[in-house]
Amino acid sequence: MKIITGKKEFFAGIDAIKFEGPRTDNPLAYRWYDENKVVAGKPMKEWLRFAVAYWHSFNGTGADPFGEATHIFEWDKNADPVARAKDKADAAFELITKLNLPYYCFHDVDVVDYTNDIAENEKRLQTLTQYLKQKQEESGVKLLWGTANLFSHRRYMNGAATNPDFHVLSHAAAQVKAALDATIALGGENYVFWGGREGYMSLLNTDMKREKEHLARFLQASRDYARKNGFTGTFFIEPKPCEPTKHQYDYDAETVIGFLRQYDLLNDFKLNLEVNHATLAGHTFQHELQVAIDAGLLGSMDANRGDYQNGWDTDQFPTNLNELTEAMLIILEGGGFKGGGINFDAKIRRNSTDPADIFYAHIGGVDSFARALITADEILEKSDYRKIRQERYASFSVDTAKAFESGKAGLEELRAFAIAQGEPAVRSGRQEYLENIINNYL
Ligand code: XUL
Ligand code: CO
């Protein structure tokens, strides 16, 4: 990929990150991500479809509730908001092209600062859309998805589409309209709705039924607008159980699937699953993946990891090979993402302040997924992992079981079968054996 820099080189001294294989001692190289290497019938880059997240990588200042910014970005210095946004776009495309990753994702306000004036915001976003479009054309980098930030501004403190104030809801609609226009103009392949503050803090002041109906209506209206204006991609809902609200309406994959079914949105919407959102919901990420795949709705994923000692969204870069291999087993068996890819919704730590840190973070995440993909494929091809799971259900091959599965055998037939067979044999689930397979192939 051609490296694209602006007037200034923001990551001077760091060149294109190349595949050098597992034996290299270069920390600024890929050890496992060999983009054109064919795994399970297609190149790694097509399975993984990595994206860089604009918000963490180019806006995340390292500020936390206890302290000021620690990442002082060179691209964040121009006093003019549009010029500053262009510097940021230059930095973004420099990083993405140096990392040789195919996609990026953004919220509207990541790209350019917004004011309280809807028309002015639209003008700014359109200007930056033209700028980004040119950078996409020069580099070949594509937009995996766009979205609107409907949670940071003060007006959204009680929600956006689920706000009890219709005036606020209408502002959210204006913002989504502009973000959709930008996504369409940039050839964005998908559009995401993460229900930032779509939920409640207290039921004492909340009509939950009405708010959820408003959310459905808002999604329908957004879908209709986008389709009318030529958007052919997929809409994703990104589940999260809590934070910032105490209870979010898009709690987890099962909840969202039920909601999509109830409001007839299954033809247009799929899921964007985030690792640490799954953990916060009390699930493993693997569980959420399996739920989505079983429903045919695994659209995309936000890659990160939480901290097992904390109960909030730490958005760390993924590094846990064991868990990622389990995830890739499910993704591979499920046939991959439907339209989406792997977006690094992850941030470097507050005290990671070297310009190279953002490279190490992405290299680590990319290589962890690449290695997990290779390992999962080997497990599926060479081990008895699949066979063991199939054999666990072998007893369902008898006629009575088949009749049960197809709804033809009732309790009477099952009772007769139980008596004829006698007490069932004790059969092992062989969990430890299966867990060892993962380590054996890593
Ligand atoms: C927040 C989160 C968001 C969404 C996009 O937890 O994951 O960044 O991915 O709005
Ligand atoms: Co996310």
Q: What is the DSSP string of 295-344?
A: TT-EEEEEE-B--TT-SS---BPP--HHHHHHHHHHHHHTTS-SS--EEE
CA angle, residues 305, 310, 315, in degrees to nearest 5: 30
pLDDT at residue 442 greater than cutoff 90: yes
Q: Which of these is catalytic: 110, 250, 268, 377?
A: 110
% of the chain residues with pLDDT over 90: 100
| 309 contacts: CB under 8 Å, gap ≥ 6 | none
Which H or E run contains 358? helix 357-382
Q: Is 240 in the pocket of ligand 1 (CB under 6 A)?
A: yes
Q: How many CB atoms lie within 10 A of CB 407?
A: 7
Please state, in angstroms and rounded to a whole number, the distance separating the CA atoms of residues 438 and 442: 6
Q: What is the CA radius of gyration of the chain?
A: 24
Q: What is the pLDDT of residues 81-93, one digit of tens each?
A: 999 999 999 999 9
Q: Which residues surround ligand 2, an ion (CB under 5 A)?
A: 274, 302, 345
Known binding-site residues equal: 238, 274, 277, 302, 313, 315, 345
Report the distance separating Cα 10 and Cα 235, nearest Å: 34
**By C-alpha distance, which of 145, 258, 253 is closest to 192?**
145
Strand ranges, E, within 317-436: 342-344
State in Å: Cα 438 to ligand 1 middle. Answer: 30
Ligand minimally distant from the alpha carbon of residue 148: 1
Nearest CA to ligand 1 atom 3: 194
Answer yes or no: 167 catalytic: no
> Where do the domains of the chain lie?
38-382, 387-441
Tens of pLDDT, residue by residue over 321-340, are 999 999 999 999 999 999 99
Q: Which atom of ligand 1 is nearest to the CA of 56?
A: 8
What are the residues whose beta carbons fall under 8 Å from the beta carbon of 320, sequence distance 6 or more? 305, 368
What's the CA-to-centroid distance between 136 and ligand 2, angstroms? 23
> Probe ligand 1: pick from 56, 111, 144, 194, max atoms within 8 Å of CB?
194
Residues of the binding site for Mg(2+): 238, 274, 277, 302, 313, 315, 345
The pTM for the full model equals: 0.98
% helix / strand / coil in the chain, to the nearest 5? 50, 15, 40
Interval 47-65: pLDDT, tens = 999 999 999 999 999 999 9
Q: What is the pLDDT of residue 268?
A: 98
**Index of the ligand 1 atom closest to the CA of residue 107:** 10
313 lines ligand 1 (CB under 6 A): yes
CA-to-CA separations, 332 to 101, 166, 292, 329, 368, in angstroms, rounded: 21, 44, 13, 5, 15
Query: Considering only CA atoms, which residue is closest to atom 8 of ligand 1?
Result: 345
Q: What is the per-residue pLDDT across 199-248, written as a single tens digit (0 to 9) for each?
A: 999 999 999 999 999 999 999 999 999 999 999 999 999 999 999 999 99
Ligand 2 center from residue 395 Cα (angstroms): 41
Give me 277's structure tokens: 């959102």
Q: Which ligand is nearest to the CA of 105?
A: 1
Active-site residue, from 56, 107, 171, 283: 107
Inform me whether the pLDDT recorded for 1 exceeds 90. no
Q: What mean pLDDT do residues 128-154 have?
A: 98
Residue with tokens 């590094």: 319
Give tens-digit pLDDT for 245-288: 999 999 999 999 999 999 999 999 999 999 999 999 999 999 99
Residues of 131-161 as b/e, b for ≥16 C-beta within 10 angstroms? bbeebbeebebbbbbbbbbbbebeebebbbb
Distance CA 434, CA 430 (A): 6
Note the pLDDT of residue 165: 98
Between strands 298-303 and 269-274, the pairing is parallel
Range 368-386 average pLDDT = 98
Predicted pLDDT of residue 361:
98
38-382: CATH topology is TIM Barrel (3.20.20)
Output the average pLDDT for the chain.
Answer: 98
Which residue puts its alpha carbon closest to atom 5 of ligand 1? Answer: 194
Q: What is the pLDDT of residues 93-128, one digit of tens each?
A: 999 999 999 999 999 999 999 999 999 999 999 999
The yes-or-no answer on residue 399 being catalytic is no
Note the pLDDT of residue 126: 98
